[in-house]
Structure 1
Amino acid sequence: MSKSLATGRASTVVKLTLENGVVGYGEAWGLPAFNRSYEAFLANYLVGTDAFNIEHAYTRILARHYHFGVQGPMMACISGIDMATKDAIGKTLGLPVSKLLGGKRINSVPIYASGGYLTETPREDYRPQVELLAEGNYPAVKIKIGLSPESDEERVAMAREILGKDVELLVDINSNYTYDVAMESMERLAPYRIGWMEEPLNPADIQGYGRLHKRARMPIATGEALYTVFDFKNLVDAGGVDVLQPDLSLCGGFWQGRKIAELAYANHLRLSPHVWGGAIGLAAGIHFIASLPAFPHSDNIPKPTLLEYDLGANPLRTELLKEPIVVKDGIIAVPEGPGLGIEVDEEALLRYAAA
């Protein structure tokens, strides 16, 4: 991305066992070593709690330990635990998580394909990546920009040339710009019909998002680095966003994800979950979208809620399940089994486990 190169990815798998022996799985953002440091602390509140009442335990943690704030590994851990708990409840009741969250409205979820990454040799590597995106015939595609406004225009112009005029083209800056540079980039990119500009500013610059949105030449999307509905409310109150992007492995799981969705609902904003981890978080995002209402639309939905699906090599997504989640014709079928509807491969977990 614009800030730095990454040589790998890490995520934390949460395995939760109910007293009846049912096992649920979740995914928490970040390095296992960070997250495991919270295990004993959280266990004091959660072990022995009725799974159906667990959200009250989370609220008690936040209320009692407000000095910790909501941003960081503690909330990521709660996110993974909440996913695992909902998975286990669904298995106990024989219901998919989407029906636990609000009802399964749709049977498949459309995706946008993330690609066009920045590499050590961005000019040489970029065109082949975009050509691969074009071969996939994805209706929506997201590319990385953010090196400079000049570079942004060069990359977007090439993407538009290769992808054609009908593909919805999304761009991601990964918060590398200040307000003035973001404005310059927007001016340069406006002729290319950008579907949204993602994370143009640092997540902490709430007022900056408000200023930028007032002059924006395209929709603004952000939220992958925001925690709980409180962070999202500050952004919405500042009038700084068009598309909210909660990451369920970080923002507070389904517990907070539903509150963020209701915030979007009440403010007539779009929502598109961020996914960058493994197969468990991907499954959670699918069920989450399947449960969302179409409001303010009804039968005709001009822009369906999209799920992020990155095209980078990711064994945490492709190898952790006995039956991997696959994209076909730009959509993913909502798993039909109870809970998250996935079967985790324990041998694969051990193969990729952190030392």
Structure 2
Amino acid sequence: MKLKSASIYLVESGGIRPVILELETDSGLTGLGEACIAYGVGGTGTAGMLKDIVERYMNSGLDLLRIEALWTEIYDHGFWAKGGGPIVYAAMSAIEQALFDIKARSLNVPVYELLGGRIHDWLRTYCNGWYFGCTRDEDLPRAAAKAVEDGYDALKFYPFATILPDGRLRHPSYRAASDRSVVQRSIRTVRDLRNAVGPDVELMLDLSAGLTPDDTIRFCQAVEPFDITYVEEPAVPGDVGALVKIARSISQRIAVGERIYSRYGFRDVLESRAADILQPDIGNTGGLLEARKIAAMAEAYSMKVQPHICASALSTAVGMHFSASIPNFYIQEHFPYWGRIPGHVDVLEDPIESSVREGFIPVKDAPGFGVHLRRAALEKSVFASFSWQ
């Protein structure tokens, strides 16, 4: 089985820019991977890094089944992977995922069988993006209640963010050092959400390192009466000292990981014991095997793991296979309402989002990741293509 072609897609999709890799073999099998730098800036840089790596390391003579050998070759000799950040690791993640998809399809098994086999048949999920369509804070309680009516008993939100008139979120500037109103507004928002959804729905708060540690502590202490399941990214990623300070001062559990890359980046967080839940993003931390190693490290510290998901529906499918295979899985992020965003592009023919029932994802047993691209929707999104014939 030889590599025949590769296509890199940079998709303009309602304010996010998914970066997707498709590999095709001479036997007709295809594999998909996603570099999860879909929001913020960096999509073009990631697509460019992916192009550079494909040009240098991938060709028709590549042994497609030696996945970790290729990953290690790029890590050891690509230079920027050692101590690297999201651009290089996201590109490596997309390549690794696509190779796993090909290998599993060639064996006619789901990808999770290559990660040790399925442990979980159903995956509990929390709903993110339930606030899509809101244009002001006053809209949030009603939208949260509607998500609960749709069957979700766990919701995540960004309390420090401002809702812009077009519905997008804007996080605080300058860590809101001179704006005390941010904390007070955020406390009111959390109170209103709790009142709207009742006592039995879990609320997770993504703080996105938006405030200074002292204001973060003040906020977390103030929302204690509202029974918050965990706070996510309360400190700047990599500032373990700030994370420790916050953890010692608040009652809520702490989740971190979406902006930490590779097992090496997670090591200090684990050793600090300042976090309770790890959230590696499979599309930017190095791929499935790297996330699996991070989960094993977390297991040794008796910590829960949930994959960070915030890109296209492909990342949800990849996350399903990872989550199904780890013993310390906690809950999976899920965006069921992307369709509310003007300009959103459905990149898959068969996304797993539509299979979610009462807040649970049924783990599919189709070969590979079990999903296929909507090529007709991506014709104008080709960033680069390669052919080896």
Fold match by TM threshold 0.5: yes
The reply to whether residue 143 of structure 1 matches residue 157 of structure 2 is: yes
Q: Secondary structure at the match of 1:165?
A: coil
Partner of 1:338: 367
Partner of 1:308: 333
- Whichever residue aligns with residue 228 of structure 1, its letter is S
Q: Secondary structure at the match of 1:215?
A: coil
Q: Secondary structure at the match of 2:128?
A: strand
Q: Secondary structure at the match of 1:186?
A: helix
CA deviation vs aligned residue, 1:37-89 (integer Å, no higher than 9, x gap): 22234432233332222212222222234455320311101111111110110
Q: Secondary structure at the match of 1:49?
A: coil
Partner of 1:201: 235
| Counterparts in 2 of 1:67 and 1:333: CA distance versus 1, 3 Å | closer
Any conservation in 2 of the 1:115–1:144 contact (CA below 8 Å)?
A: no
- Whichever residue aligns with residue 256 of structure 1, its letter is E
Partner of 2:16: 9
The reply to whether residue 217 of structure 1 matches residue 241 of structure 2 is: no
Report how far residue 18 of structure 1 moved. Answer: 3.0
1:249 pairs, out of 271, 283, 296, with 283
Partner of 2:357: 328
Partner of 2:145: 131
> Where in structure 2 are the equivalents of 1:1-355 lying within 5 Å?
8-30=15-37, 32-38=43-49, 39-47=51-59, 48-67=61-80, 69-115=83-129, 117=131, 121-146=135-160, 148-294=182-328, 305-314=330-339, 319-325=346-352, 326=354, 327-350=356-379
Any conservation in 2 of the 1:113–1:141 contact (CA below 8 Å)?
A: yes
Distance 1:317 1:260 in 2: 32
Q: Structure 2: give runs of 5+ residues left out of the alignment.
A: 1-12, 162-181, 385-389
Any conservation in 2 of the 1:114–1:141 contact (CA below 8 Å)?
A: yes
Any conservation in 1 of the 2:263–2:293 contact (CA below 8 Å)?
A: yes
Distance 1:354 1:55 in 2: 26
Higher relative contact order (CA 8 A, sep 6+): 2
Any conservation in 1 of the 2:151–2:357 contact (CA below 8 Å)?
A: no
Count of aligned pairs? 341
Any conservation in 2 of the 1:213–1:239 contact (CA below 8 Å)?
A: no
Q: Structure 1: give runs of 5+ residues left out of the alignment.
A: 1-5, 295-303
CA deviation vs aligned residue, 1:103-139 (integer Å, no higher than 9, x gap): 0112221110114649995323323322222322312
CA deviation vs aligned residue, 1:209-251 (integer Å, no higher than 9, x gap): 1221122211001111111011111211122211101111111
* Aligned Cα root-mean-square deviation (Å): 2.4
